[in-house]
Structure 1
Amino acid sequence: VGLGFRWFEAPLYVAQGYAEFGVAPWGMQLGWRYALFGFSGHAMFTGIFGALLGLVFQTRRRWLRILAPIVGLALALGAHFWNNALPLLFALAGAAAGEPPPSGHEPPPDVGFLRAFVSGSLSELTTFLPFVVIMTLALWRSGVWERRVIREELAEEVGRTVSPDEYDQVVRDRALRTRRIARMHRRESAALVNAQHELAFRKRRVRDEGEDPEHDRLVAGWREEIRRLRAVA
């Protein structure tokens, strides 16, 4: 959602700059608004809420399931409020120092994309450092949880939907690594790995609901999908 907003927002401000001053500020607008590779601003705001919302599906604690989305929404709103309040704070600081208020009718500076990107990234990183840290920790924790669930739930699938060699890869899996099935085409390998992971997540979801995964139709469906993918490989 946030990235979609960014994709629409950047060209909108370029068009507004051209309509008002006769010059399209491509470099400044695209470089600044895609600072931190586009993962600041609204992408970060919605990402914070999404990360805390995802925690609902990762924990068995009822109080945390209730509190996590509320905290995520509060953090996202707080980050957006901080972003919108900064110009006002700078204006108030300037007025206190005796500086004249900005006219608001000056053309945007002629800044290239790279310069705007670097300066914008440093500014965004400094301004939103606490929120960047929160997102980094949330992503790290989510990755740890996912690998643990896959490792635990696929342990009993060895010889059934996962081969011993494949499970050895599961155990040795780490962050920023994608395991591949030996002697399979890249696309078919990715499909099989994804099906195995979906099977693991579904089994954990069923267990968390107090049910038996062996009686779940989606679990059976993912096992059948894994067998089908092996047959066509």
Structure 2
Amino acid sequence: MSIAAGSRFLFDSPLSNPRVARLIAIVLAILAEASLIVLVKFQLMSLAPSSLGVFLRALLVSGLLSIIPFAALWFLDRRERESIWLYIVMFLWGTLIATGIASPIIGILFPKATHLAFLHSDILKQVTQNSGPTFAAMLLTPAIEEFVKGLGVFIVFLLLKSEFDGVRDGFIYGALIGIGYNLIDSSFYLAQAYAQTGVAPWWQYLVTHHSLMGFGGHALYTGLFGMGLGLARQTTIPWQRIAAPVAGWLTGLLAHITGSLMGLLTIFLAVSVVGKSLAAPFSPGSDLFSNPSFWALLLSGGYISFFWSFPFVALAGLMLWRSGEWERKVIRDELVDEVEPVITLQEYQAVLADRMLHTRRIQGISKALSASIVNAQNELAIRKWRLSHHGKDPAADPLVASWREEITRLRASTLEQAPES
């Protein structure tokens, strides 16, 4: 049974029903439009021209620094590649919808404590005088942000089952939303701090928003929740399907709260040592990335973030390592009984030789075609595993048959290509 690529994307999804798809599209369009109005009318337009210039510079820096975590996620996703459109949607959920929903809620609840931009030597006095709203914001703001960011991951978990296979997929989706959220949030943070004090706190900006190659903040927090959802998708134990997402969200929330507390503590200590404002240790300009101070500050932020976030980073790293082991085992076990043209003996030997940081390739054909065949083989294996572990027969599944047909079609196209020199 042949299924088109778009239909494979929506297989087993409520979105395959046109009425449901239209309803979801309308809801998302309303959310996007409302969020855009909030961000543009109530935040961007409220900035003075000088603050707007700081925002745009910060946005450029954030965008360039975001390339690093994007590349890391792309590498993690190499065995069973998700749609590039899903990458874009997740990123836009973070940049547009999540920020547009969270910002006004936080602004209404904590108007005096938003962003905690205490920059001067009297920081202890300021915090003491505003300890109530300050620490309330540090506890409740993360909960609001993790709820709206996590909602995007949860929607994909519910609506696109064939695109949400396990722990690694969950981390990728959550991290993409976190990267998008950080892009806007960090830029507004810098601009608003500049508007309040007249100086741009680049030191805090780098330490609190762009450490650990972009995984020291929102990407890690929401990625942990995504991992919980991914574990729920992988497991066959009923209670774990409920407990894993709850534990993942709470772990991400704890990491966020810890990050806020440790970020403020870092500022306390630094101000105590320096005894003056930390707002502008260097002057950002066109030579920003060639400025040694920029990289020194970025590295210092990495050291600080790694110190406080080590338990959470270690947990994420362990789960990603285990997810890689799981992927390779599923691919080995489920492709062993497949025959040509789905997979050749030589290709299966490459499956057996696959390692953690290795990506197998079919020799003698173009890199792009090889990647397409390997991806289809891996999709087939994971689909067969899921059906088998839920008591269903892979032989009767239309999507399994469709992946086999897709591999056969791709295999036929290799005859049209001359071997690479």
Calculate the TM-score normalised by the size of structure 1: 0.87
CA 30–120 in structure 1, closer or farther in 2 if over 3 Å, else same: closer
Offset of residue 92 of structure 1: 9.4
- 2:279 alignment counterpart: 108
Offset of residue 19 of structure 1: 3.3
Q: Distance in 2 between matches of 1:107 and 1:91?
A: 8
What amino acid is aligned across from residue 381 of structure 2 in structure 1?
A
Question: How many residues get paired?
Answer: 225
Contact 1:31 1:113 in 2 (8 A): no
- Is 1:60 aligned with 2:236? yes
- 2:395 alignment counterpart: 214
Offset of residue 27 of structure 1: 6.7
1:75 to 237, 241, 251: 251
Contact 1:2 1:46 in 2 (8 A): yes
Offset of residue 22 of structure 1: 4.8
- 2:358 alignment counterpart: 177
Q: Distance in 2 between matches of 1:187 and 1:19?
A: 49
Q: Distance in 2 between matches of 1:90 and 1:183?
A: 55
CA 222–140 in structure 1, closer or farther in 2 if over 3 Å, else same: same
What is the identity percentage for the equivalent residue pairs of Structure 1 and Structure 2? 44
User: Which sections of structure 1, spanning at least 5 residues, go unmatched?
Assistant: 94-98
What amino acid is aligned across from residue 298 of structure 2 in structure 1?
F
- 2:92 alignment counterpart: none
Q: Distance in 2 between matches of 1:63 and 1:30?
A: 40
Offset of residue 175 of structure 1: 0.5
Q: Distance in 2 between matches of 1:231 and 1:215?
A: 24
Contact 2:208 2:263 in 1 (8 A): no
Q: Distance in 2 between matches of 1:107 and 1:132?
A: 27
Offset of residue 232 of structure 1: 1.6
- 1:46 alignment counterpart: 222
- 1:8 alignment counterpart: 184
Query: Where does 1:184-223 land on structure 2 (aligned, <5 Å)?
Result: 184-223=365-404
- Is 1:137 aligned with 2:321? no
Q: Distance in 2 between matches of 1:67 and 1:173?
A: 32
Q: RMSD of the TM alignment (CA)? A: 2.6
User: Which sections of structure 2, spanning at least 5 residues, go unmatched?
Assistant: 1-176, 283-292, 415-421
Give the SS at the match of 2:234.
coil
Q: Distance in 1 between matches of 2:302 and 2:264?
A: 21
Q: Distance in 1 between matches of 2:211 and 2:268?
A: 26
CA 19–154 in structure 1, closer or farther in 2 if over 3 Å, else same: same
What amino acid is aligned across from residue 402 of structure 2 in structure 1?
G
What amino acid is aligned across from residue 216 of structure 2 in structure 1?
S
What amino acid is aligned across from residue 108 of structure 1 in structure 2?
A
Offset of residue 25 of structure 1: 5.0
Q: Distance in 2 between matches of 1:88 and 1:6?
A: 18
- 1:35 alignment counterpart: 211
Q: Distance in 1 between matches of 2:368 and 2:201?
A: 41
- Is 1:163 aligned with 2:163? no
Q: Distance in 1 between matches of 2:386 and 2:380?
A: 10
For each residue in 1:36-70, what CA deviation from the matched residue of structure 2 results, as whole angstroms up to 9, or x when unmatched?
A: 11011111001111112111122222222221111
1:153 to 310, 322, 334: 334
Contact 1:153 1:200 in 2 (8 A): yes
Offset of residue 90 of structure 1: 7.1
Q: Distance in 1 between matches of 2:298 and 2:360?
A: 34
Q: Distance in 1 between matches of 2:279 and 2:209?
A: 14
What amino acid is aligned across from residue 73 of structure 1 in structure 2?
W
Q: Distance in 1 between matches of 2:221 and 2:234?
A: 21
Contact 1:5 1:42 in 2 (8 A): yes
For each residue in 1:2-49, what CA deviation from the matched residue of structure 2 results, as whole angstroms up to 9, or x when unmatched?
A: 111111123223323443455555576246521111011111001111
Q: Distance in 1 between matches of 2:341 and 2:213?
A: 42
- 1:226 alignment counterpart: 407
Q: Distance in 2 between matches of 1:12 and 1:231?
A: 52
